[in-house]
Amino acid sequence: MIADALAALFSGGVVEVRALADFATHSGYFDDFARLAAAAEALDADPEVRGIYVTLNVVNPALLARRANRVKMRLSRSDATTADADILRRRWLPIDLDPVRPSGVSSTEEEHEAALRRADAIALWLAEQGFSEPIRADSGNGAHLLYAIDLANDDEATALVKGVLATLDALFSDETVTVDTANSNAARIWKLYGTCSRKGDTTRERPHRRARVLSAPEEREVVPPEKLRQIATRLPVEAPPTPAPTGGKTDLAAWLSEHGLGVRSTRPWQGGTLFVLEDCPFSTAHRDGAFAVQFPSGAVYAGCHHASCGGGTQRWPELRGMYEKRTRKKREEMPPPPLPPAPAAFAREEAMKILEHGDPLAFLLDTFAREHVGDRIVAECLVMSLASQSVKNTNGLHVSVSGTSGKGKSHACATMLKQVPFAYRIAGTVSNKALYYNENLQPGTVFLFDDVSLSDDLQEVLKAATANFREGIEHQTLTNDRKLQICRIPERCVWWLAKVEDVGDDQVMNRMLTTWIDDSLEQDERVLRHRKRAETREEDEDEEEDPALPVCRAIWEVLKEERVHVSVPYAEAVQFSSSANRRNPGILFDIIKASALLHRFEREDYGGGIRADRSDFETAARIYAAINGEAGGQETKLTKNEAAALSTVATMGWEQFTIRMLQEALGLSYHQTRRILHGYNNGGTIYSGLLEKCPAVSYLDTTVSSDVDGYLVRRREHQFSFDPEAYRRWTAGAHVWLDRDPPDDDTFAPGMHRDGTGDVQRTGTEGRPRSTYSREKRERSLSHSTLLHQTEGAHTTPDLSGSRGVCARDRRPDAHDGKDGGESQPIRNPGQKIPSFIDSAGVQPGAILCTRATGSGTLTLPGVLDRREFTRVSTDLGRCSVCGERRAVFRSADGRALLCEACYGRLVRAWNAAKGVSG
């Protein structure tokens, strides 16, 4: 069969054969077609080979010396294949009919037959136009037509072939079968008939098939260039000279709808829009072939590709007069009542306005913020997870949200889930078997597991589904009558986990964006204020759905229709301070691609794909920094309490400590603190503690002696050692930045600075409602190389002074108090050192202004006390600046504040309380 196909395609010369496998390309050049057929048969026997192809056009015979009558397996980067410049002449016009289906899978029998029927229709029409008999072939998944031509390999020939394919695509492509317009380049490779096409796995519904020649003419008759030009110019390239009717331009889409002409498909054409009609309005002898084009000027061209209807001549005046006369007559007989715009259509229209001219991320986040207060990073992670479903070249983004019970993690996920179209969401308790047997699962479904304890089987399903994000997974089982049944979880599904702690399986967590819910005291206050405002609403006001939610769903419906390859042109310039976890760099790039996908309709399409620009890196770097710092434990896989415990130990300067010491600093119970260090077992699931997670912490089982009433008492004590240097190395792996010396000028997208940095202090107005979502108001991050996590509102800190001191946060008169308007401002003395990391309010949670009672009144200590500004010293500092009684062992960076162990411990507890450390 292969030898017969080669005889039909080639009469001599050099041909390249190229085999594509999952992770390799094999290639050889042949002028001995018997050896080519033998080599192709050997390649076809390899199940890893997905398809075998040959060059169609005349190849420069000098290329035979690359791999003369042999196939080299696994080409290296230095091994060249045939390029357009290597083609001497064009001898085939290739027409590929491909059934519409998910990528990476074979076609069903129905899809396959539809492509073959469409090929017959095209061949029949081209025969009416004077084309010779083609080679008809089955590609394995679709259909091929090959017409003999004889053209030079130049720009004119390329434009001619491209024009023919564009015309066929416009007239014959629809939602079931499309004409591939990408086959216009001279070095295009083509399926070798007689070999197997292996897309995805072979199944009963979508089997692998062998490509084959269906028919071939006995003599090859070349199609003249004039015939090709007739087809390439069948659709109008320029607007017709006929002016638009007086009284304004005709809206062709509205005109066709108003006059009852069904539209099969629409597509861009010469800057305007091409409408392919369902039925031909000019003749009852055929249904297909009619079309209409509206150009940017407003001019309209209408016609039919059938010769009996004029073969593409201008018939718009005739069509307009015929249908407007009918419509006027109907209106005179029975005026139709005006119809209100359909809600779904309105939502989609608004969605397209935002996608094409606005900021979809800001719109989605602001809609989320109207129902759920705070937790912006959590919301951004969920949005990026949804966006990743439409990126071709991604492994998907899945989200794990952890936090204290009752602090809003379930509400955050459920609020974002409302923005997902109903057909694409599953929430609640579900078993692994139920997932497999659910026949209604759609590709791109969102699974929300809310405080569900994942069984071992369900964890295995999650690992398999996330590892096979692009293909989906299959489960083979036996029915009651012992017949094989194959169940599937479809491709591009994302998983959201809302848990009190992590799920315990590192392989699962390594696949997730791990973020913490904000359970700080100030967040509690914001939620309470929001709840109070909600309770003041009139009856049933709260029952109405946010009008923005249908628009959000429409945005995702539009984006789910896309499958876009996103390239990151500056990827080689992205630097990581640590790449120990090899999944995390991939996660950053996936966030960049998801950000670019949200702006898909604003980016230039370079042929099925878009490029990420610098704004996408800024967005991704900000999210990545947050989930590696204040808002998550992506790199370390720490929970929020664990991160606070390590930070407290490092801050206190302890080289050895006990559970009791750490308990007092954290303000937690002994049992909670012990679980943080040792981990625990819950229902057979092991949850690791700091002893297993952090290399800086180790365990000592010691015996301590003490004098009690003159007696030497020995007791057993569990102590923990802490290595601060190991801790610093372990937690320093979350920085990303753009290299200041990129490899070449083409590395960066348009608009990016040559040094790869740009403005590092561009900020947005986070958390505040917008009236519009324009590009100019799109939010930007602070320095993308920091671990900054912005929060909204003012911080409050409890009184820590006891009877001797009053500690409170001072504010300027215009400081932000949680109401609309104003921003929090720190009070500081001239010359005071500013903390190296500051939040959006200007002062970190836990930073306090302290005063101390003295004999002559109240002494205000200078500056803001930030626990990170203090270091433990061994020299004699005198008495504590706050209590005035105990020996000072901590000194501030400017040397103006001295704290004893107890007062510094209260400062650390204030920090932990403000950051939400709790049981």
The sign of the CA dihedral 500, 501, 507, 512 is positive
In what order do the strands lie in the sheet containing 512-516? 425-427, 446-450, 494-499, 398-402, 512-516
Percent of the chain surpassing pLDDT 90? 22
Region of 305 (left: φ > 0; alpha: ψ -120 to 50; beta: rest) is: alpha
Better-predicted residue by pLDDT, 813 or 160: 160
Q: Residues 356, 602: contact at Cβ < 8 Å?
A: yes
pLDDT digits 0-9 by tens, 493-533: 887 787 755 444 555 566 677 777 777 777 777 778 877 87
For the residues 301-317, what does the mean pLDDT come to? 80
pLDDT score recorded for residue 828: 33
Q: Which residues contact 684 (CB under 8 A, 6 or more apart)?
A: none
Quick one: pLDDT at residue 801?
Answer: 35
Which tens digits make up the pLDDT trace of 367-397? 888 888 888 888 888 999 889 888 888 888 8
How distant, in Å, are the alpha carbons of 152, 211, 284 from that of 303? Answer: 32, 37, 15
Backbone angles phi, psi at 353, to 5 degrees: -60, -45
Whether residue 471 has pLDDT greater than 70: yes
Q: Which amino acid is at 68?
A: A
Write the pLDDT tens digit of every residue in 746-785.
Answer: 444 444 433 333 333 333 333 333 335 554 444 333 333 3
pLDDT for the residue numbered 454: 58
pLDDT at 175: 85
Give how far Cα 776 sits from Cα of 357, 384, 768, Å.
Answer: 10, 21, 16
pLDDT band per the 50, 70, 90 thresholds, residue 805: very low
| Whole-number pLDDT of residue 747 | 41
Is the pLDDT confidence value at 160 over 80?
Answer: yes
Return the pLDDT at 195: 96
Please name the amino acid found at residue 214: L
Question: Which of the residue ranges 399-403, 534-538, 804-808 has the most confident prediction, judged by mean pLDDT?
Answer: 399-403
| First vs last C-alpha separation in the chain | 72
Please check the confidence at residue 112 and state whether its pLDDT lies above 70.
yes
Residue 278: the pLDDT is 82
Residue with the larger pLDDT of the pair 442 and 208: 208
Give the tens place of pLDDT for each residue, 527-580.
Answer: 788 778 777 766 554 456 788 888 898 898 888 888 889 988 888 888 776 655
Least confident piece of the model among 122-131, 202-211, 644-653? 644-653
609-611 and 565-567: which strand pairing? Answer: parallel
Maximum average pLDDT range among 132-136, 312-316, 482-486, 799-803: 132-136
Which residue did the predictor score with more confidence, 729 or 734? 729
Question: Cα–Cα distance between 329 and 457 in angstroms, integer?
Answer: 68
pLDDT over threshold 80, residue 723: yes
User: Is residue 256 pLDDT above 80, yes or no?
Assistant: yes
CA dihedral over 739, 740, 742, 747, signed as positive or negative? positive
pLDDT at residue 431, as a whole number: 52
Return the residue matching tokens 């071709």: 392
Q: Which span out of 55-64, 172-181, 246-255, 505-514 was modeled with the highest average pLDDT?
A: 55-64
Is residue 431 classed as helix, strand or coil in its secondary structure? coil
Distance CA 762, CA 878 (A): 44
Q: Which single residue is written with the structure tokens 């609309």? A: 820
Specify the amino acid at residue 332: E
Q: What is the pLDDT of residue 165?
A: 93
Q: Quick one: average pLDDT of 807-825?
A: 35
Is the model's pLDDT at 54 over the cut of 50?
A: yes
Do β-strands 87-99 and 898-900 pair in parallel, antiparallel, or remain unpaired? unpaired
Say whether pLDDT at 844 is over 60: no
821: pLDDT strictly greater than 80: no
Using left for φ > 0, alpha for ψ between -120 and 50, and beta otherwise, residue 190 falls in beta
Beta strands in 407-549 (DSSP E): 425-427, 446-450, 473-478, 484-489, 494-499, 512-516
Which residues in 490-627 belong to E strands, given as ranges? 494-499, 512-516, 565-567, 574-576, 609-611
Most confident range, picked from 223-227, 299-303, 513-517, 583-587? 223-227
DSSP state, 741?
Answer: S
Q: What percent of the chain has pLDDT over 70?
A: 71
**pLDDT band for position 797 (cuts 50, 70, 90):** very low
pLDDT at position 411 is 83
Q: What pLDDT does 67 receive? A: 96
Strand partners, 135: 146
Mean pLDDT of 52-61: 96
User: pLDDT tens for residues 751-761?
Assistant: 443 333 333 33
CA atoms within 13 A on the CB side of 340: 3
Give residue 836's pLDDT band: very low, low, confident or very high (50, 70, 90).
very low
What pLDDT is attached to residue 487? 65
Mean pLDDT, residues 882-890: 82
**3-class secondary-structure state, position 505:** coil
User: How high does pLDDT run on average in the chain?
Assistant: 75
Supply the pLDDT for residue 773: 56
Q: Which of 16-30, 527-541, 610-624 has the highest mean pLDDT?
A: 16-30
